[in-house]
Chains A and B, each alone.
Chain A
């Protein structure tokens, strides 16, 4: 009995190993086909682990916060002078904005302008930095239970962060605008030329589909154009950082490694992301 058991056990172990290798390879193929069941499974497991990751990320955030405070204390004088100057400039812009707002309001009344749909937002904490060779994404501790839905826009105080890629009940994955799959329709603020900001996993996404005649200036502001219906127009994205050989590169306003909270904004845009079932085919008129 014992003599038989050992070879059988060895055989079983070998089969387990080969079986697991086959399952792993099969999962990679299935994942490529974007089976909805796999996405649901993924988010269910993420949901289960998000409270633990949330707890683990807090001490790290505290240490980072202390470091940031110390570094701020060191250059507090220079920062103060810079802020005073900036404040003076902003006060001027505030006066301009107030005047324009009043003008805008009266002109809208004149035109009976249909206002943009109401937007609502949710603030969430980043609990995991799930970046790597494959993608640039973060996990946040808010999900469908908090009103987060696929395709919504993620912003921080500095500008556009990305969009919601996957949603669980208590967690969601934000695809950053530096991700390989991120494509944001943008506008060069000075020349008003349209382009698409395409991520390539580096921290300087590329400006693609810009007309050949257009030469963007280094330092020119890049904002979302609102085309395609994924992002609302006018959100600050970044500044042109490098022009030369190859497509121009943009430095995002958001410093992703310093980010600890994001706002998820629902602009009521579904955009190009598939939401639920495809629309029914048009019936022939009867």
Chain B
């Protein structure tokens, strides 16, 4: 009986890995670095994490989880509430509806998919920043943020992949 409860707890913790790691990534995003304008060009780690887990374990990265992650990101970054939540939900929906395109493809194809989604997200955020915040985004900032986000995806995917192999072996 006791072993059963422990096993259940173990499974629950393991299944929470994507959520916990994505939460950690949200906090990591805010670490102040001594780079000029870091806030503007900081890579979108949260998008990377949500993308990775939706592609590889959509059963553990449910819309509710995506919503909570997005809302926390909004709260801590001070942007209008619901903005990241909405963007990430749309990303989630896009990946789930196109899951055949991502299923068991090579990493290069998944990376291309991520680049496409990152462009879409960046355009959406830029338009929303202009409409809601009245803040124009300079093209150079747009390009730099996109390049850094897409360029760093393999690194984050590698870390997440290690965690996936370590904690979610049965999949």
Interface residues of chain A, those whose CB is within 8 Å of chain B, are: 13, 16-17, 20-21, 23-28, 30-32, 38, 41-42, 45-46, 49, 52-53, 56-57, 60-61, 64, 67-68, 126-139, 165-166, 173, 180, 200-203, 255, 257-258, 260
Contacts and interface: CB of A to CB of B under 8 A. Distances in A.
B38 interface: yes
Contacts, number: 158
A21 B32 contact: no
Contacts of A57: 30-32
A126 B126 contact: no
B138 A17 contact: no
A126 B34 CA distance: 12
Given A21-B86, A26-B82, A257 B34 contact: yes
Contacts of B77: 130, 132, 134
B37 interface: yes
A56 B27 contact: yes
B34 A128 contact: no
A258 B40 CA distance: 15
Contacts of B101: none
B90 to A, nearest CB: 8
Interface residues of B, number: 47
A132 B78 CA distance: 9
A129 B76 contact: no
A168 B133 CA distance: 23
B39 A130 contact: yes
A25 B82 contact: yes
A132 B137 CA distance: 10
B133 A25 contact: no
Contacts of B138: 202
